[in-house]
Every structure is written in C-alpha cells, then in structure tokens.
Amino acid sequence: MKSLLGQWQLWALLSAGFAALTAIFAKIGVEAVASDFATFIRTIVILALVSAILIATGQWQPPGSVPGRTWLYLVLSGCATGASWLCYFRALKIGDAARVAPVDKLSVVFVAIFGALLLGEKLSLLNWFGVALIAGGAILVAL
C-alpha cells in the first residue's frame, strides 16, 4: 500500500476526481450567491481543512524557515490560484459545468507550453500530440 501512495499517478487521478466534484458542487453552490462570495467560502473551507491536516500530520513549520525565493513563488502561485478560482466560479455561474470544466482544463495545455518555455521541460512528439488532442477535445466540448 505504501508504494501505491508514493505514486504520482494515484495522486493525479485523485486530483482529477476531486476537481470533477468541485465543478459539480460549485455549480450547484454558486446558484444562490455571487460567484466571488462563493469563492470566499470555498477558500475558508480549504484554509481550515489544510490547517487541520498540517497540525494532525505534524507538517507545520515556522514561516521563518521558508526561504525568501520560496515565499515569492508560493505567493505568486497563490495569487494565480485565487485569480483562477474567481474566474472559474464566475464561468460556472453563467455557463454549463460540462462545458466550463473542459475549457478550464486547457490549463494542461498551458502547463505543457509554459513548462517547455520557462522550465526547459522536454516533451516528445507523442506527448505534444497528446497536448494537441487535449486542446482539441476541450474546444469541441465547449462548442
């Protein structure tokens, strides 16, 4: 069991499953409130949940132990996450979850492009074909 928990594929599939539930639950939840307020509620829940996990697993560490460069990139990541959530909830407020979520998953395409351009990651021709299929599929579902 421990070897399974150490596999990135398991965690990526769980992430995809929870992301799917996020879209469904958010679409229902955003019906009666403003999308930005819905994002605020979601953020409070996430903060409480992650805080409890950190405390329960002993992973809390003093903020001063985090290097400045790490702080910078985690703050930038947090800003990008917040902007993404605000846009996602607004899209869910006015669009169908079955069409919004696939367009949101164009982030996979953007990560491949940014990873290659900014991080120097190498993808094979077959990998790029897969990225193109993801982009095409998202566009077809959105139409």
Average the pLDDT over 27-39 and give the result: 94
Q: Tell me, yes or no, whether 99 lies in a domain.
A: no
Q: Tell me, yes or no, whether 8 lies in a domain.
A: yes
Q: What is the pLDDT of residue 125?
A: 98
| Count of C-beta atoms within a 10 Å radius of residue 123 | 14
Do 80 and 127 lie in one domain? The reply is no
Do 129 and 77 lie in one domain? The reply is no
Q: What is this structure's pTM?
A: 0.83
Do 47 and 13 lie in one domain? The reply is yes
Average pLDDT, the chain: 94
Domain span at 83? 2-94
Residue 2 scores a pLDDT above 80: no
Percent above pLDDT 90 for the chain: 90
52-66 pLDDT, tens digit per residue, is 999 999 999 999 999
Do 25 and 77 lie in one domain? The reply is yes
Do 61 and 122 lie in one domain? The reply is no
Average the pLDDT over 10-23 and give the result: 91
Q: Tell me, yes or no, whether 69 lies in a domain.
A: yes
Do 28 and 77 lie in one domain? The reply is yes
Q: Given pLDDT bands bounded at 50, 70 and 90, which one contains residue 114? A: very high
Do 70 and 35 lie in one domain? The reply is yes
Please state, in angstroms and rounded to a whole number, the distance separating the CA atoms of residues 81 and 86: 9
| Helix, strand, coil % in the chain, rounded to nearest 5 | 85, 0, 15
Do 112 and 81 lie in one domain? The reply is no
Q: What is the pLDDT of residue 93?
A: 94
Q: What is the pLDDT of residue 104?
A: 94
Q: Tell me, yes or no, whether 74 lies in a domain.
A: yes
Do 83 and 110 lie in one domain? The reply is no
Do 29 and 87 lie in one domain? The reply is yes
Average the pLDDT over 124-141 and give the result: 96
Contacts of 95 (CB under 8 A, 6+ apart): none
CA distances from 78 to 18, 47, 99, 105 (A): 19, 12, 25, 18
Average the pLDDT over 36-54 and give the result: 96
Do 89 and 28 lie in one domain? The reply is yes
Of the residues 54, 72, 94, the one at which a domain ends: 94
Q: What total number of domains does the chain contain?
A: 2
Do 78 and 15 lie in one domain? The reply is yes
Average the pLDDT over 85-113 and give the result: 94
Average the pLDDT over 24-36 and give the result: 94
